[in-house]
Structure 1
Amino acid sequence: MRKKSFLVVAGLLTLTALLPAQGVEKSMPPTSLFFWTILCGSICLTVAAIFGIFGQSKAFCNASDNIARNPASADSIKGLLIISLALMESLVIYVLLIDLILFFVNWGKYTVR
């Protein structure tokens, strides 16, 4: 099942990477470049948020299971959980930061004429 889902995701990412190359002229208008930037940025942010939420829920589930099994180690598990949740959330925030940078770039300067 994991191999099949990996192949589906890899295939979709490959098709998504090739999609902008279909029928592109030599000089893309800035609006088209801006559109593809917004589209790719929103897709990346969505994927990062989904995997971030999945990772955080898995970490919380495992931490609560381990605390239930061994209540004496609750303090150390809680500390590690907070650090790991902060690191997972920072990855999503980095993707948001990159998307905001791409959103505010003046694309008119960087088009090929």
Structure 2
Amino acid sequence: QFSQVLLHEVLAIRKACHSLQEGYQPRITFVIVQKRHHTRFFPAQHGHRETTDKSGNILPGTVVDTKICHPNEFDFYLNSHAGIQGTSRPAHYHVLLDENAFSADALQMLTNSL
């Protein structure tokens, strides 16, 4: 499904850019964000102020991009928000196209700031 979305959406973006100005071809970074998954993260030391928020969840800005991510694809989990009630659910980011050649850290910081 991701490949179909990538093909359709990037083509539409390129057409829209061309309609603004002939020859306008900005570099595109295309990311799909998933919230509907069953992955949860828990702090290694529950109750420590340095590693948990007031709800006992992982801190906002926590990134997981090793071990449980795909070995050959550019994907990561990012918890960019504070949990209010229950266990917070990080978003799963899939980078399908990166013509800007972002480093993993740079793209993770950018998405956390959005």
TM over 0.5: no
Flag the structure with larger Rg: 1
User: Hey, which of these two has a bigger chunk of helix by percent?
Assistant: 1
User: Hey, which of these two has a bigger chunk of strand by percent?
Assistant: 2
Task: Identify the structure with bigger relative contact order (alpha carbons < 8 Å, sequence gap 6+).
Answer: 1
